[in-house]
Amino acid sequence: MDFRLSSQEEAFRDEVRRFLDENLPADANRGDFRFVVEWNKKVRAKRWVGFSWPKEVGGGGGTLMEQVVLKEEMAKRKAPPLGACFMGLAWVGPAIIQYGTEAQKQRFIPDILDGAYQWCTGYSEPGTGSDLAALSCRAVREGDVYVVNGQKIWTSIAMWSKWMILLVRTDASSASKHEGITCLLMEMSTPGVEVRPIQNMSGTAMFAEVFLNDVRIPVENRLGEEGQGWQVTVSALASERSSIAEVTAMFRKLEELQELAKRCTRNGVPATRDPRVRRQLAVFEAKIEAMRLNGLRSLTQQLRGEVAQGETSVNKLLRAELEVDMGDFALELLGSAAVYPRGSDESVDGGRWQSGALNWPEVVIGGGTPNIQKNIIAERILHLPKDG
């Protein structure tokens, strides 16, 4: 057991820090469009976009450990993301690299790395949320095209995306619901695609319903074999595994909460002298530190070539709890002022704490609700009998 970095990894850390010193001044406006465009060019030139992808496809060929170092340093300085194509980098790209044809790799991977446009993910349907494999969006092959009919929902950033990775049912007769699913890559401008944004409870719209009516998708845009869609999806989602960047961001959030506590009073004394506040902040710290170390443990398992058991679900559950509880705790600290959102003269810090307390479902529900994660742990790790 040794938590130190090798000298090579230390050298890489220094390189990242130097880069940040030079290219990310403390007062940089991270929300400024021109700044982000320049930033993306620079990190792309360093091959830090798609850092762990093979060099042949234009990735950085970095090791798992170097990737941890890179993400950690970036998050510490609140750097903008490495690359602009969020879902393309997270799982569409890895799926194409693993299952795509040579033509598909050449067509899509460079654009994902350059952030030329956005990808969205057409998995959930009105009738199939947690039970993803029960999806019913239908695709019928007619010569060189698939004709798709059905509806997708909770599709994040569908209204700003050029392409969608889409799961459809090509064979309704198969015995298992996991069979007969196929993965297609669909251009959003194809006739028959209609996107309707859904407003969420914090007042913004990040996701949408997507209606598909006789949408004709060329067979050459199928990812993997017909009927292989479930496998493609599972292995693509598995590549979304390192939680290191999240952990660093959570530590930063905790610091902000601590700062907020210093400004608030409870029962007539500074909130930081209230034993319950002190304990709660320390409990958050313990959970985030546990996430960090759980992540390193599973990384070691990966490096040793062992199957990492359930760490993803463990950390997802911890993160879900933290997102909900930390968001809510901020409002508790604010006391009566918690009722004023953005737009009121009385709102604290421009209403950011209210947004935080209302936006957790994006993280907590997306990618599997906490109850589904508990089923996964209970059934796959503890081998308890399956539900239903």
Partner 1 sequence: MDFGFSEEQDLLRAEVRKLLDARCPLGEVRKLAETPCGYSAELWGELAQLGWLGLTIPEEFGGAGLGWVDLVVLLQETGRSLFPSPLVSTTLAAAAILESGSDEQKQRWLPSLADGTRIGTLALLEAADAFILTGEKRFVADAGSANLLVVAFRTGPGAHDLALGVLDRGAAGVATRSWTTIDATKRAGTLELDGARVEKSALLGAPGKSWPAIERLFDLGAIAVTAELTGAAEAAHALTVQYAKDRLQFGHPIGKYQGVKHPLAEMYVDLESTKSLLCYAAWAVAESPGELPRSASLAKAYGSDMFARVGIDGVQLHGAVGYTAEYDIQLYLKRSKWARPAFGDSDFHYERVARLGGL
Catalytic residue numbers read: 240
Is 223 a residue that touches partner 1 (CB under 8 A)?
Answer: no
Tokens of 227: 């009927």
Between 125 and 311, CB nearer to partner 1: 311
Which one among 23, 98, 301, 359 touches partner 1, defined by CB under 8 A?
301
Cβ at position 359, least distance to partner 1 in Å: 23
Between 273 and 342, CB nearer to partner 1: 273
Of 109, 156, 142, 143, which is closest to residue 359 (Cα–Cα)? 156
Cβ at position 125, least distance to partner 1 in Å: 23
Cβ at position 284, least distance to partner 1 in Å: 10
Q: For residue 371, what are the contacts with CB-CB under 8 A and spacing of at least 6?
A: 130
Which one among 182, 287, 334, 354 touches partner 1, defined by CB under 8 A?
287
Is 375 a residue that touches partner 1 (CB under 8 A)?
Answer: yes
Q: For residue 307, what are the contacts with CB-CB under 8 A and spacing of at least 6?
A: 301
CA distance 294 to 23: 32
Between 14 and 194, CB nearer to partner 1: 14
Q: For residue 192, what are the contacts with CB-CB under 8 A and spacing of at least 6?
A: 148, 212, 213, 214, 215, 216
Residue identified by tokens 């490096």 is 303
Contact 171, 202 (CB under 8 A): no
Is 379 a residue that touches partner 1 (CB under 8 A)?
Answer: yes
Cβ at position 285, least distance to partner 1 in Å: 6
Measured between its terminal Cα atoms, the distance across the chain in Å is: 42
Which one among 85, 185, 217, 296 touches partner 1, defined by CB under 8 A?
296
CA distance 88 to 111: 9
Q: CA-CA distances (angstroms) from residue 24 to 29, 36, 39, 278?
A: 9, 11, 8, 34
Residue 298 has phi, psi (to 5 degrees) of -75, -30
Is 198 a residue that touches partner 1 (CB under 8 A)?
Answer: no
Cβ at position 381, least distance to partner 1 in Å: 7
Q: CA-CA distances (angstroms) from residue 167 to 132, 151, 222?
A: 10, 11, 10
Is 9 a residue that touches partner 1 (CB under 8 A)?
Answer: yes
Tokens of 228: 């292989």
Cβ at position 208, least distance to partner 1 in Å: 31
Which 237-276 positions form the footprint of partner 1 (CB under 8 A)? 258, 261, 272, 275
Contact 288, 246 (CB under 8 A): no
Contact map string, positions 352 to 371, toward partner 1, x by CB under 8 A: -------------------x
Is 215 a residue that touches partner 1 (CB under 8 A)?
Answer: no
Between 41 and 279, CB nearer to partner 1: 279
Q: For residue 203, what are the contacts with CB-CB under 8 A and spacing of at least 6?
A: none
Is 374 a residue that touches partner 1 (CB under 8 A)?
Answer: yes
Q: Which residues bind partner 1 (CB under 8 A)?
A: 1-6, 9, 65, 68, 258, 261, 272, 275, 278-279, 281-283, 285-287, 289-291, 293-294, 296-297, 299-301, 303-304, 310-311, 314, 317-318, 371, 373-375, 377-379, 381-387
